[in-house]
C-alpha cells in the first residue's frame, strides 16, 4: 500500500486564489485589506518568512505594511508600534514575527495586539474563542493542517486523533480544531509514556514536535491520515559524495518513506503543511477585514 500524498502546495495555491478573488470583490466596495508584519532583528529564517509573507500579501491584492526594527529594540518601543497599528484603520491584521530577541517578552506583545487584528490567532481571547467554539481568528498552521485533512477525510466524527506536541502555536489549537470536529483527541508530548503505542491508535495523526523523522512507520495505524507539521534541517547525505549538492535538506517529524507504506494519506515535507501557513494568514487577514467592517 502507498499513501495518497496530500499536495499542500496546490491546495495552498487554490486557497490564495480564492482569497485574491474575494479581495477583488471587496476592493470593488472600497475595502482594501491590509496586513502589517513586524520583524525585530535579523534572524535569517524570519527574514525569509517575512519577505514571503509580504510578497504573497501583495499578490493576493492586499496592502502589506512591513516594519523592520533593530535587534536591540526595547519592549516599550515594540509595544508602542503595536499600539499605533491597533489604532490604524488601514491595518486589518497584525503579525509580530516570532521568535523575539531576549529583552522582549513575546507573551506581553501577543496580549497587546487587538484581538480583532490578531491574524496569528495567538491572543488569549482568540485561544479562548477557539476553545469555547466561538468564531474568532485561528492560528494559521493548525488551520491549514485541518484544511489538508478535509481534502482526504471530510467526516472526522468519532475518529481517534492524536496530536504530538502541546505548543500554543500548533499542538493545542490543532487539538481544539479536531475536538470541534468530534474526534476523540489525545495530546501527546515530551512526557507521554509509550508514544508509539499512543500513535498506533490514531486514525488522524498530527506530528508537531521538531524532531527529525521521530515518528516511524510502525507507529502508524494502517490507513491513517498523517499530517507532518515538523520542519527540520538536517545534513544532506548526498553532499558527502557530490560537492554540488546542497549541504542540508528539510525533513519532517515523520519518517516519510516508512510512513508512506502504512498510512492512507500523508503530507510531505516540504510541500505539505508549510505552504498552507501563509495562505491561511491571508485568509485570516481577509476574515479580519470583513469582521471589522461587519461584512
Ligand atoms: P515547540 O518546540 O513549541 O513544541 C514542541 C512540542 O513537542 C512540545 O509540546 C513538546 O512537549 C513536544 N515534544 C518534544 N519532544 C518530544 C518527544 N520526544 N516526544 C513527544 N513530544 C515531544 O514547537 P512548535 O512551535 O509547536 O513547532 C513544532 C514543529 O512544527 C517544529 O518543527 C516547527 O518548526 C514546526 N512548525 C511548522 C510550521 C509550518 O508552517 N509548517 C509552523 C510552526 C511550526
What are the per-10-residue average pLDDT scores of the chain (295 residues)?
A: 94 98 97 98 91 96 97 98 98 97 98 98 98 98 98 98 98 98 98 98 99 98 98 94 93 98 98 97 98 95
Judge if the beta carbon of residue 195 lies within 6 A of ligand 1.
Answer: yes
Alpha-carbon distance of 19 to 137, in angstroms, equals 16
Residue 227 shares a structural domain with residue 103:
no
Q: How far is the CA of 67 from the centre of ligand 1 (A)?
A: 27
> What does residue 140 show for φ and ψ, rounded to 5 degrees?
-65, -40
Report the nearest-CA residue for atom 40 of ligand 1.
274
* Longest distance between any two alpha carbons in the chain, whole Å: 60
Residue 149 shares a structural domain with residue 104:
no
Judge if the beta carbon of residue 166 lies within 6 A of ligand 1.
Answer: yes
- Residue 228 annotated to the active site: no
Report the nearest-CA residue for atom 42 of ligand 1.
141
* CATH number of 195's domain: 3.40.50.720
Residue 94 shares a structural domain with residue 203:
no
Residue 223 shares a structural domain with residue 154:
yes
pLDDT score at 1: 65
Residue 166 shares a structural domain with residue 260:
yes
Identify whether 270 is part of a domain.
Answer: yes
Q: Which residues pair with 69 in a beta bridge?
A: 40
Residue 243 shares a structural domain with residue 155:
yes
Q: How far is the CA of 210 from the centre of ligand 1 (A)?
A: 4
Residue 160 shares a structural domain with residue 234:
yes
Identify whether 160 is part of a domain.
Answer: yes
Kindly give the pairing relationship between strand 160-164 and strand 93-96.
unpaired
Domains of the chain: total: 2
pLDDT score at 143: 98
- Residue 97 annotated to the active site: yes
Choosing from 92, 118, 120, 203, the catalytic residue is: 120
* CATH number of 71's domain: 3.40.50.10860
Residue 243 shares a structural domain with residue 203:
yes
**Domain span including residue 167:** 140-276
* Total count of residues recorded for the chain: 295
Identify whether 267 is part of a domain.
Answer: yes
Identify whether 289 is part of a domain.
Answer: no
pLDDT score at 229: 98
Identify whether 165 is part of a domain.
Answer: yes
Residue 267 shares a structural domain with residue 165:
yes
Residue 208 shares a structural domain with residue 85:
no
Judge if the beta carbon of residue 215 lies within 6 A of ligand 1.
Answer: no
Residue 68 shares a structural domain with residue 169:
no
Choosing from 97, 172, 253, 287, the catalytic residue is: 97
Judge if the beta carbon of residue 198 lies within 6 A of ligand 1.
Answer: no
**Confidence (pTM):** 0.97
Amino acid at each position: 500500500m502507498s499513501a495518497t500524498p496530500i499536495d499542500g502546495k496546490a491546495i495552498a495555491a487554490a486557497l490564495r486564489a480564492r482569497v485574491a478573488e474575494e479581495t477583488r470583490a471587496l476592493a470593488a466596495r472600497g475595502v482594501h485589506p491590509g496586513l502589517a508584519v513586524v520583524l525585530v532583528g535579523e534572524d535569517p529564517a524570519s527574514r525569509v518568512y517575512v519577505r514571503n509573507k509580504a510578497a504573497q500579501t501583495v499578490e493576493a491584492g492586499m496592502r502589506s505594511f512591513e516594519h523592520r526594527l533593530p535587534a536591540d529594540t526595547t519592549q516599550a518601543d515594540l509595544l508602542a508600534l503595536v499600539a499605533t497599528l491597533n489604532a490604524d484603520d488601514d491595518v486589518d491584521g497584525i503579525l509580530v514575527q516570532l521568535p523575539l530577541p531576549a529583552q522582549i517578552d513575546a507573551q506581553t506583545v501577543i496580549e497587546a495586539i487587538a484581538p480583532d487584528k490578531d491574524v496569528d490567532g495567538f491572543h488569549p481571547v482568540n485561544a479562548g474563542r477557539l476553545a469555547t467554539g466561538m468564531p474568532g481568528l485561528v492560528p494559521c498552521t493548525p488551520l491549514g493542517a485541518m484544511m489538508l485533512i478535509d481534502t482526504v477525510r471530510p467526516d472526522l466524527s468519532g475518529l481517534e486523533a492524536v496530536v504530538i506536541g502541546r505548543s500554543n502555536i500548533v499542538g493545542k489549537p490543532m487539538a481544539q480544531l479536531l475536538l470541534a470536529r468530534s474526534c476523540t483527541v489525545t495530546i501527546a508530548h515530551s512526557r507521554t509514556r509509550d508514544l508509539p503505542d499512543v500513535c498506533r491508535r490514531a486514525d488522524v495523526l498530527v506530528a508537531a514536535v521538531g524532531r527529525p523523522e521521530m515518528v516511524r512507520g510502525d507507529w502508524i495505524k494502517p490507513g491513517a491520515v498523517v499530517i507532518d507539521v515538523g520542519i527540520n534541517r538536517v545534513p544532506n547525505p548526498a553532499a558527502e559524495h557530490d560537492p554540488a549538492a546542497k549541504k542540508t535538506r528539510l525533513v519532517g517529524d515523520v519518517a516519510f518513506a516508512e510512513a508512506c507504506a502504512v498510512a492512507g494519506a500523508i503530507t510531505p515535507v516540504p510541500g505539505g503543511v508549510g505552504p498552507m501557513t501563509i495562505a491561511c494568514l491571508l485568509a485570516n487577514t481577509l476574515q479580519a477585514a470583513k469582521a471589522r467592517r461587519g461584512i
